[in-house]
Amino acid sequence: MAFPTTTSGWTAYVRNWIGADDYSDAQIGNFLDLAHVRLNTDLMSYPMEKLFHRTILAPDHEQPIDLAMTIPDFGKIRLVSVQGVGPLDVAALNEYVAKQQDWVNTCYTPEMYNIDAGKLYIWPWPGIDQTVDIHYYEKVPVLSETVNSNTFTLHHPDLLLYAASLEAAPYMVEDERIAVWENKYTMGVMTANANVTKIKMGSTPLLRKISGFS
């Protein structure tokens, strides 16, 4: 199966796939946009993994890090680490606040992080010239006149097709294909996400635990 390589190609492909010639380009475009929302929520695959380095230039004044402003394609966090220190533990908001407000504690080595309202908090805050490594899953941009391909079209075109079909499903009355699309989409997402775990943890994950994920 050869998948499209352009936005207009995807529009025509989805229209032909669901067999609805009466849908306009704008309607098919909406289905594709919603499919991206669905996949950005459900999928955490290897091709979506990215890394951003943030070097601290001033003590405490740069906290917190606004993830959306600092990393435009930020989707979901994977891991936060500080070079020379290692991976940080994930902390619940109440745990972070308790540590941050504990003036008796004299620890100066970063230990934990918390994400609240799209902002990254680290305790204790790294020192000057320390580098924070933010491992994350990208938020894949939708197709448009200027974006003809992305991570989904290049690495998960089948899932994009099934997701777009499912977004069109509410307008398709008693179509037996919907259950098939739902199953293929669900199994495809599970497989892609499971492959990431296998790549990182091998066949014995209990012996190779990776901490700090959220």
> What pLDDT was estimated at residue 209?
41
Coil vs helix vs strand at 76: strand
> What pLDDT was estimated at residue 184?
97
Could you identify the residue written with the tokens 């509410």?
170
> What pLDDT was estimated at residue 121?
94
Bigger pLDDT: 173 or 150?
Answer: 150
Across 129-143, 148-162, 190-204, least confident range? 190-204
pTM, 2 dp: 0.85
Coil vs helix vs strand at 112: strand
Q: Where are the domains of the chain?
A: 7-45+156-164+179-196, 49-138
Cα–Cα distance for residue pair 51/78, rounded to 1 Å: 9
SS3 letters for the chain? CCCCCCHHHHHHHHHHHHCCCCCCHHHHHHHHHHHHHHHHHHCCCHHHEEEEEEECCCCCCCCCEEHHHHCCCEEEEEEEEECCCEECEECCHHHHHHHHCCCCCCCCCCCEEEEECCEEEEECCCCCCCEEEEEEEECCCCCCCCCCCCHHHHHCHHHHHHHHHHHHHHHCCCCCHHHHHHHHHHHHHHHHHHHHHHHHHCCCHHHCCCCCCC
- Residues 26-82 have pLDDT tens digits of 999 999 999 999 999 999 999 999 999 999 887 666 789 999 999 999 999 999 999
- Residues 157-209 have pLDDT tens digits of 999 999 999 999 998 877 899 999 999 999 999 999 988 765 555 544 444 34
Has residue 17 got a pLDDT over 80?
yes
> What pLDDT was estimated at residue 214?
41
pLDDT band at 22 (very low <50, low <70, confident <90, very high): confident
Q: Distances in Å between the alpha carbon of 70 and those of 53, 108, 113?
A: 10, 25, 17
Kind of pairing, strands 119-123 and 65-66?
A: antiparallel
